Amino acid sequence: MADRPGVDREFAFDPNDAAKAKDFARMALIRKEKPVCRPADNIVLVTRFDDVTAVFRDSKGFSSVGDMRAPGIVVPSEESFLGELDAPLHPKIRRVLHRTFTIAKAQESEPFTRQAIRRRLERIVAAGQGDLMAEFATPIPGSVSADLLGFPESQHDALMGWCNDLLHSSWPPTGKTEKGEGIAAGFPELAACIDEQIERRARDGSLDDLLASMVRSRGEDGWSIGAHHTRTLVVNMLAGSLSATYMVGNLLYRLITSRDFETALRRDPANIDRAVEESLRYEAPVAFLWRTARADSQIGSTPVFKGEHIMCHITAGNRDPEAYPDPETFRLDRIDPPEHLAFGSGPHLCLGNHLTRLIGRVVLEEALAVMAKTKLELAPDYVWHCVNHLQEYGPEQLPVRIAR
- The full 3-state SS of 140-202, as one line of letters, equals HHHHHHHHHHCCCHHHHHHHHHHHHHHHCCCHHHHCEECCEECHHHHCHHHHHHHHHHHHHHH
Residue 70, judged by CB atoms within 10 A of its CB (0-12, 13-18, 19+), counts as middle
DSSP letter (8 states) at residue 80: -
What's the confidence (pLDDT) of residue 270?
A: 96
Q: 3-class DSSP state for residue 360?
A: helix
To 5 degrees, how large is the angle CA 112–CA 113–CA 116?
80
How many residues comprise the chain? 404
Task: List per-block mean pLDDT (blocks of 10 residues) for the chain, which spans 404 residues.
Answer: 82 94 97 97 97 97 87 88 93 87 87 97 96 95 94 94 89 94 97 97 92 88 93 94 94 97 97 98 96 95 94 98 97 95 96 94 98 94 93 96 85
CA 144 to chain centre: 15
From the list 329, 334, 289, 335, the residue with the least C-alpha distance to 313 is 289
Superfamily (CATH H level) for 9-403 = Cytochrome P450 (1.10.630.10)
Give the number of other CB atoms < 10 A from CB of residue 403: 9
- What is the Cα–Cα distance from 75 to 250, expressed in whole angstroms? 32
CA 65 to chain centre: 17
- What is the Cα–Cα distance from 346 to 295, expressed in whole angstroms? 19
Distances (CA, A) of 60 to 93, 173, 347: 18, 24, 10
DSSP letter (8 states) at residue 136: I
Q: 3-class DSSP state for residue 302?
A: strand
- What is the Cα–Cα distance from 38 to 18, expressed in whole angstroms? 17
Q: 3-class DSSP state for residue 64?
A: coil
Domain ranges of the chain: 9-403
- What is the Cα–Cα distance from 394 to 404, expressed in whole angstroms? 28
What's the confidence (pLDDT) of residue 49?
A: 98
- What is the Cα–Cα distance from 75 to 369, expressed in whole angstroms? 46
Helix or strand holding residue 131 (H, E)? strand 129-131
What's the confidence (pLDDT) of residue 2?
A: 60
Residue 295, judged by CB atoms within 10 A of its CB (0-12, 13-18, 19+), counts as exposed
What's the confidence (pLDDT) of residue 262?
A: 98
User: What are the backbone dihedrals phi and psi of residue 313, each rounded to the nearest 5 degrees, phi first?
Assistant: -85, 105
Pairing, β 62-63 against β 288-293: antiparallel
Give the number of other CB atoms < 10 A from CB of residue 207: 15
To 5 degrees, how large is the angle CA 235–CA 239–CA 240?
110
